[in-house]
């Protein structure tokens, strides 16, 4: 039986009279590679902001593993395993990937610098960082300055940072946006290959990438769920095609 790990019920968000999120009820299964797609301005980022607690909803609830987390602060959601990356790059350009990932690991451990004061603690952090960098295809560049890395590698580093918090649900807002065509597939295939107990909800604009990545797709239009289904169902849905053709016309 599938298990719902993340759910919204009747979630809405108004900005003045404008409904950016309109009565969204969404269920994300544990282990899913769930894509959230829709035209620009459809409310995808707003929905992620509601899920992570960056924005409070005007109405409705968010449930994580069956518990109502609607009123929880963002950092408490992260502690419970709900972590996101942002659409805007948030890295320290002068740090190396190794330094950046070590920082994220010590931050998660919550003991900060004290851990660095023992050799054993230092070794454990480095070891975890190395395996994280390996997983995200960053081992060969871990000593370079982040600012000189190819953009795809920078986005992978951001995802590695989110992953360092040991999420059970990872929310990715257009991780391949701005990444050159030839690096995009690497980004999404690394995300797709994350451990199966990690659930991924991903916003992506490129339909080919979405179709190769997703196990399930929700289509947002004007803040509301317009269609939902498997890749086969969504890719064959003439209404979805019309929305995208209309946008690209
Ligand atoms: P998407 O990520 O799908 O492109 P967004 O969620 O960023 O869309 O935006 C959805 C709509 O909500 C847009 O029309 C946007 O202008 C509006 N919006 C988003 N955030 C705010 C805000 N803080 N104040 C007012 N309007 C907003
Ligand atoms: Mg967006």
Which atom of ligand 1 lies at the shortest distance from residue 42's CA? 3
CB atoms within 10 A of CB 220: 26
Which atom of ligand 1 lies at the shortest distance from residue 173's CA? 2
Which atom of ligand 1 lies at the shortest distance from residue 223's CA? 10
pLDDT at residue 227, rounded to an integer: 96
For atom 7 of ligand 1, the residue with the nearest CA is 45
Question: 37 pairs with which residues across the strands?
Answer: 219
The structural architecture, per CATH, of the domain 4-88+167-243 is 3-Layer(aba) Sandwich (3.40)
Query: Would you list the domain boundaries of the chain?
Result: 4-88+167-243
Rounded Cα distance, 116 and 124, in Å: 10
Residues of the chain with pLDDT under 50: 249
Which atom of ligand 1 lies at the shortest distance from residue 39's CA? 3
pLDDT at residue 206, rounded to an integer: 84
Helix (H, G, I), strand (E, B) or coil at 108: helix
Rounded Cα distance, 107 and 93, in Å: 19
For atom 20 of ligand 1, the residue with the nearest CA is 46
Kindly state if the Cβ of 41 falls inside 6 Å of ligand 1. Answer: yes
Cβ–Cβ under 8 Å, residues 131 and 138: no
pLDDT at residue 174, rounded to an integer: 92
pLDDT at residue 249, rounded to an integer: 47
For atom 17 of ligand 1, the residue with the nearest CA is 20
Span from the CA of 173 to the centroid of ligand 2 (angstroms) = 7
Rounded Cα distance, 165 and 176, in Å: 21
What is the reported pTM?
A: 0.91
Kindly state if the Cβ of 36 falls inside 6 Å of ligand 1. Answer: no
Kindly state if the Cβ of 43 falls inside 6 Å of ligand 1. Answer: yes
pLDDT at residue 10, rounded to an integer: 98
Phi, psi of 230 (to 5 degrees): -75, 170
Rounded Cα distance, 150 and 197, in Å: 29
């Amino acid at each position: 039986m599938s298990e719902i790990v993340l759910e919204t019920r009747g979630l809405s968000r108004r900005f003045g009279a404008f409904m950016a999120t309109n009565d969204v009820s969404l269920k994300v299964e544990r282990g899913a590679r769930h894509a959230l797609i829709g035209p620009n301005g459809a409310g995808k980022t707003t929905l992620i902001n509601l899920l992570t607690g960056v924005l409070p909803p005007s109405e409705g609830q968010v449930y994580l593993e069956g518990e109502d987390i609607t009123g929880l602060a963002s950092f408490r959601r992260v502690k419970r395993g709900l972590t996101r990356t942002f659409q805007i790059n948030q890295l320290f350009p002068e740090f190396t990937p190794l330094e950046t990932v070590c920082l994220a690991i010590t931050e998660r451990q919550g003991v900060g610098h004290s851990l660095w004061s023992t050799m054993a603690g230092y070794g454990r952090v480095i070891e975890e960082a190395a395996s994280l960098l390996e997983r995200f295809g960053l081992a060969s560049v871990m000593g370079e300055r982040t600012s000189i890395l190819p953009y795809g590698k920078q986005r992978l580093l951001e995802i590695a940072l989110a992953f360092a918090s040991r999420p059970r649900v990872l929310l990715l807002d257009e991780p391949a946006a701005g990444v050159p065509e030839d690096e995009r597939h690497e980004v999404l295939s690394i995300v797709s290959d994350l451990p199966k107990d990690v659930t991924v909800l991903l916003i992506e604009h490129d339909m080919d990438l979405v179709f190769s990545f997703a196990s399930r797709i929700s289509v947002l239009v004007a803040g509301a769920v317009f269609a939902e289904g498997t890749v086969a169902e969504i890719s064959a849905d003439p209404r979805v095609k019309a929305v995208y053709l209309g946008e690209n016309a």
